[in-house]
A and B are shown apart, each in its own frame.
Chain A
């Protein structure tokens, strides 16, 4: 069965701290991986995606993620977070039908 797991449920960081959110996946066959962000009161927005090629992918707002096939991981990183990064972050995987399987999400709180 396809599954995506996120181990950090709630993360609190000070502004300018570095961020790494964990994501592990379990898929049979080819998998496309995504990170979505949901700011308070807003809809899910795509941060970045991995389909193939360079395992280090860069997204919007300074976020990046690294696909490590041997570890079944796709962790999200940002060198220096801002207060405006406060949001919920979801890792998701999709097979050929583009149907997404989401992790449970990580709530990030950035303090000033």
Chain B
């Protein structure tokens, strides 16, 4: 079974602080996506990474794909209360077409 481990599952920090969320697997991904989900809604795609070592930026969010394509991270700089939400990593393992999700990180940014 190909598993995708996401950590931490819960994170509560003060506004202005930085944070990093990790997504790891023992298997290689052909691609990996990061999503954000609001309560009662479907996940919204933030970014897709495909190439090992790839770094993508979306305003204060920085996404990194590991060189071996087995891990990824999401770093948020100077977190704002509007960043509060559920962040999900999801990967397509090499040789598969399935999109499998990590456990999610419930992020709370306190004013």
Do A and B truly interact?
A: no
